[in-house]
A and B are shown apart, each in its own frame.
Chain A
Amino acid sequence: MANGNDSPVLELRNVTKRFGNLVAVNNISFSLERGKLVTFVGPSGCGKTTLLRTVSGFAELDEGQIILDGEDITNMPPNGRDTAMVFQAYALFPHMTVAHNIGFGLRVRKKSKPEIDAEVERLLALVQMDGLGDRKPHELSGGQQQRVALARALSLHPKILLLDEPLSNLDANLRVSMREEVRKLQRRLGLSVIFVTHDQEEAMSISDLLVVMDHGVVKQIGSPTEIYEHPIDEFVANFIGHINFFPGEVIDLSGDEMTFKISQTNLKVEVPPFPVSVGDRLKAVVRPESIDIVSAEKELSDRENVLEGRVEFGMYIGSIMRLTIAVGDQTVYVDEADPQHKGIFEDGQKVKLVLKKRIHMLRETSD
């Protein structure tokens, strides 16, 4: 604890890990502030687990450095590192009781028995498992096993807690409540956590910081809002939530407004925070929930930024209605909140779509 609280607890410097010819983690640098929860997201096989394992020490680095709390641990064996991991399938020791599982690390450290017992009791209470210490793992439910795994990982007061898809084996409801608990616990204890998931909703809801990965590289690092509202490319935009792309051309620039032409329609939108000039080809990125939808008959006061289309089909999800709309030859997704009260659009119905003035723009990439 020689370092002040403002220095990052974990720092990866140009970390690279290869498996044969495959580069599983490609030159990643990143640092984590103390007491924050960062989530790695990305499609399956993008290297999330591998990155986590380089931190815990199970995967040896090919290049780069890992600094934990100011100490270079790149070449330290896993059992010497002050990290703790919660495994996807929990990896509880099946032949030991819950209490023994939780106390394992303390026994390794040769703590005295009363000390261990007290600590185990405290941890059991922390994860709301009081009184279940004598059970064997197979006598527990999935959520309870998850808690034991968490308690075991916390037993050594690790500098950083590593969670690899810890909730993926749970059913949907349990996932939601467990992730809330994890978040609460993290906040309460001020834990520094790396969380791995490929569930974007989970990622959004739990994190202080999101790291989107693809093919071993970091695509974007940012807060959930940043990533959601300002994805830096199509991949990130696509990966986090549903999205509509409208490719088009800048045909006029005036002050902080510009005219953006998509197929037949001209949109009046704000100029993006990067330099543009007339003739640039851009892509408008619009989330389904930020499009307003009205029936075609309805007269609109403001006729700007309106697209006309036809409902192909609607999917009723309860909280929202997800509509697939044909606009010209493009398909546009629109989420309509609170369908119960706004009425339901029917298939084939003619509709008008209204876009906002502030639209996130991406430069059209050549590929």
Chain B
Amino acid sequence: MQRGKRLFWFVLVAFTISIFMISTPAQADKVLKVYTNADINEMEKWAPEAEKAIGMKIQWSPRMSSNELWSRVQAEAPNFNADMIWGFLNAHAMVGTQRGYFLPYKSPVWADIPAEFKDPAGYWHGYNYWFAAVVANKDLLKKKNLPLPKSWLDLTNPVYQGEIVMPNPGTSGTAFLSVSAIMQIFGEKKGWEVLEKLNKNVAQYTKSGSAPSQLVAQGEYAVGISWDQAIYGRVEKGFPIEGIIPSEGTAFDLESVAILKGCKNLEGAQKLIDWLGSKEGMTFIGKFRSKVTRPGILGRVQLDPDLIKYDALWAGENQKRIMSEWKNRFQK
């Protein structure tokens, strides 16, 4: 009866099952699930290298912006869907430690890394740091006859109206870093005035901190606020852009890793932290990031940016407040 129809459904079901079979890794090899705010193109290179080092498969989250990642983690607490966070804001690391999201791990490999780059109790480890910077498209500036901005204050110049793209501090760690840098440089009251004027010039707020670099590189906008490697990576690729460290100084953030409570692959997570702190790991990451935290290992950028004494604790303590104020003022 109805042999044809039966065959049809049989083939369909068999095909579906076989797709499941081939793409689901065998139970035997362990998987390390990580959340990350690293860019897609970075992670596509980092993950395979780390897999080699720890001898396990790594599954990484869909690319998330810093705040998106943190929102997910908060929403999931205390039943996290990943084993660890590989790459998130130091301010969030501090909050998470206080809320008891993490498992401590005192890695022997990290013993000789300065104390300022890790939590005393081992709840988080900072393996590199990055900073907010301004990016400008030289060709476009020339064509539009605009000066090269040199400082945060320059960005508030009305000539740039509609030419600036910056990430949304609601989602992007880069943007939040920039905003808190401005707060810390100018003081809160003056800081808001600067942001008011900057807002008038901004044409678009993007979700991620890297997008402004890409958009400026493609010539969609003349000036953007982004972060170091998103800019310098594209400079090296030959885009007509230039990275600018604002003359007032800029803030850096310590890129951190932490093991989430309920981690199902503690061994893998600890191995990853060990590798990130090791010479090899730091050297590898140094090929992508401006500065790493192991003394004696160089990052990509030798220049010493004019870093302000950025207070990550302040950022962790005031993020919600600053953000709701920001939303009140600037949300269109």
- Taking Cβ atoms with an 8 Å cutoff, the residues of A that contact B are 95-96, 100
Contacts and interface: CB of A to CB of B under 8 A. Distances in A.
Nearest to A96: B1
B328 interface: no
A108 to B, nearest CB: 13
5 contacts: A95-B1, A95-B2, A96-B1, A96-B2, A100-B1
Nearest to B2: A95
B308 to A, nearest CB: 78
Interface residues of B, number: 2
A96 B1 CA distance: 7
Contacts of B1: 95-96, 100
B1 to A, nearest CB: 6
Contacts of A96: 1-2
Interface string B1-41: 11000000000000000000000000000000000000000
A111 to B, nearest CB: 16
B327 to A, nearest CB: 60
A34 to B, nearest CB: 36
Nearest to A100: B1
A95 B2 CA distance: 7
Contacts of A100: 1
Closest 5 CB pairs of A and B: A95-B2, A96-B1, A100-B1, A95-B1, A96-B2
A94 B2 CA distance: 11
A96 B2 CA distance: 8
Nearest to A104: B1
Nearest to B5: A95
A42 B62 CA distance: 73
Contacts of A95: 1-2
A100 B2 CA distance: 11
A226 B323 CA distance: 98
A95 B1 CA distance: 8
Contacts of B2: 95-96
A96 B5 CA distance: 12
A100 B1 CA distance: 8
Nearest to A93: B1
A95 B5 CA distance: 10
B4 to A, nearest CB: 10
B319 to A, nearest CB: 65
Nearest to A107: B1
A366 to B, nearest CB: 62
A100 B3 CA distance: 13
A133 to B, nearest CB: 14
B3 to A, nearest CB: 11
Interface in B103-118: none
B207 to A, nearest CB: 53
A141 to B, nearest CB: 23
B255 to A, nearest CB: 64
B8 to A, nearest CB: 13
A204 to B, nearest CB: 42
B279 to A, nearest CB: 71
A95 B6 CA distance: 12
Nearest to A97: B1
B2 to A, nearest CB: 6
A106 to B, nearest CB: 14
A9 to B, nearest CB: 34
B5 to A, nearest CB: 8
Interface string B299-326: 0000000000000000000000000000
A215 to B, nearest CB: 44
A216 B2 CA distance: 43
B9 to A, nearest CB: 14
A95 B3 CA distance: 11
